[in-house]
Structure 1
Amino acid sequence: MPDPQAPSLITPPDIDDSQLVEQAVNGDVNAFNGLVLRYQDRVYSIAYRIMGEPDGAADMTQDAFINAFRKLETYRGGSFIGWMGRIVTNTCYDELRKRKRRPQTAFDDLPGGDADDGPPIASDSITPEEAAQRSDLQQAIADCIRALNDDQRVVMVLCDIENQSYQEIAEIMNLNMGTVKSRLSRARVAVRNCLQAVQELLPPEFRLGDEG
């Protein structure tokens, strides 16, 4: 496995992913390290949302790149991050299923997490107070997603955050699309109900008490 922390490696922006993959398949370790450096933040972000805590996300990110390196010859072009996203999702989901078979559940005693571990909030022309409210809402959403059971959380992350199709999610999780839709619906209801504890941060249409 190439070292993701390889020093002084700079990937020229004009080299596209398919070229780097081809070079890596032909034994160029620096080419694969270039892919790691190019996408490690995005892959970590996916892993963090699924695993719910930074240490697990870091482990799954490393494992996902190891798995990707072993499967490079199966890459057939197109979006590399889309291909990589499926690998990291499968890696995380496999780990969650393993944890379910252990005496302690996967999310016992998880730390609360930190909004800074997720992607930053868009910085447009907003006041400091509005920025603080957005940050609080982002943290509340992350906490509510983290509180979902594993299956619901994975489906919600894949659909609502990573914009995967029902078909793609069904293939990743080895489910039929009806089950995917059912889990997603339950996850959305659970998160919406969870967020009622911070109604003052929500848009009016999400405040259950304001209906009617």
Structure 2
Amino acid sequence: MDIVVKKIVREVKRGNQDAFAELVDLYKDKVFHIAYRMLGNAHEAQDVSQEAFLRAYTNIESYDENRKFSTWIFRIATNLSIDRIRRKKPDFHLEDQVSGTDNLDYHSQFAADIDLPEDQVVKLEMQQWIQDEIMALPPKYRSAIILKYLEDLSLKEISEVMNLPVATVKTRIHRGREALRKRLGQA
């Protein structure tokens, strides 16, 4: 994968816009996921994702091909998300999904071999509760927790994304986990 990505990046550096579209296709879901987990809002996550790719495109010459492209784009998305959190303004959209209606669509009217609606509601409430508690963590702990436990990155990858020493990343994960444990225990 890394060899293929390096070839694509070289094409982008030569001005091939189709090659950049390939990069976007490869990483758009992960970048959106990171932004969504950080911000808790799909519209803001879309904005941050688009801005992350725009910045990657305009700064592609500064990308060091000896490093993983995924780490570089994840760092951009994480930093943009943290910036957005810092200058947070209420952001509401009429199209925002109402909490608890994630599974309601045309297909939900048909019988299926899935959990009972009550079980789904409990599961959704639990997921939302945990997401809310993660959102309440300070951004420096939130980003470390999200990258470690929700995006499943290694400590080394997280240190590259956050541009911090591995020891600092370990400390932030530990402190974030402790803060989350206390928050979840109080509820």
Taking structure 1 as the reference length, the TM-score comes to 0.62
Q: Match of 1:169, SS?
A: helix
- 2:178 maps to 189
- CA gap of 1:126–1:79, structure 2 versus 1, over 3 A, is farther
* 1:34 positional shift: 2.6
Number of residue-to-residue matches in the alignment? 168
- Alignment RMSD (CA, Å): 3.3
Most deviating of 137-146 and 188-197: 188-197
What is the CA distance between 1:145 and its match in structure 2? 0.5
Please give the residue correspondences for 1:7-26 in structure 2 after superposition, counting only pairs within 5 Å: 16-26=4-14
Counterpart residue identity of residue 164, structure 1: L
Q: Secondary structure at the match of 1:148?
A: coil
Tell which deviates more after alignment, 43-52 or 28-37. Answer: 28-37
Query: Is contact 2:39–2:45 with CA below 8 Å preserved after alignment?
Result: yes
Hey, what does 2:146 align to over in structure 1?
157
Quote the Cα distance in structure 1 between the aligned partners of 2:168 and 2:12.
Answer: 38
Aligned equivalents of 2:158, 2:25: Cα separation in 1: 26
Q: Is the Cα–Cα contact under 8 Å of residues 53 and 113 in structure 1 kept in the other structure? A: no
Tell me which of the two structures has the higher relative contact order, counting C-alpha pairs closer than 8 angstroms and 6 or more residues apart: 2
Of 141-150 and 30-39, more deviation after overlay is shown by 30-39
* Of 128, 140, 143, the match for 1:139: 128
User: Quick one: percent identity of the two aligned structures?
Assistant: 35
- Residue by residue, what CA displacement relative to the aligned partner does 1:55-80 show, whole Å, maximum 9, x if unpaired? 33222111110121133342526754
Q: Separation in 2 of the partners of 1:45 and 1:37?
A: 14
- Which residue is 2:43 aligned to? 55
Segments of 5+ residues of structure 2 without an aligned counterpart are 103-112
Amino acid at match of 2:65: R
Deviation at 1:92, TM superposition (A): 2.4
* Amino acid paired to 2:178: V
Per-residue deviation, 1:45: 0.9
Q: Note closer, same or farther for the CA distance 1:182–1:67 as it changes in structure 2 (3 Å cut).
A: same
C-alpha displacement of 1:46: 0.6
Q: Are 2:75 and 2:162, in contact at CA under 8 Å, matched by a contact in 1?
A: no
- Change beyond 3 A, Cα 1:79–1:137: farther
Structure 1 residues 179, 113: closer, same or farther in 2, change over 3 A?
A: farther
2-side partners of 1:86 and 1:114: how far apart? 29
Residue 89 of structure 1: how far off its partner (Å): 1.7
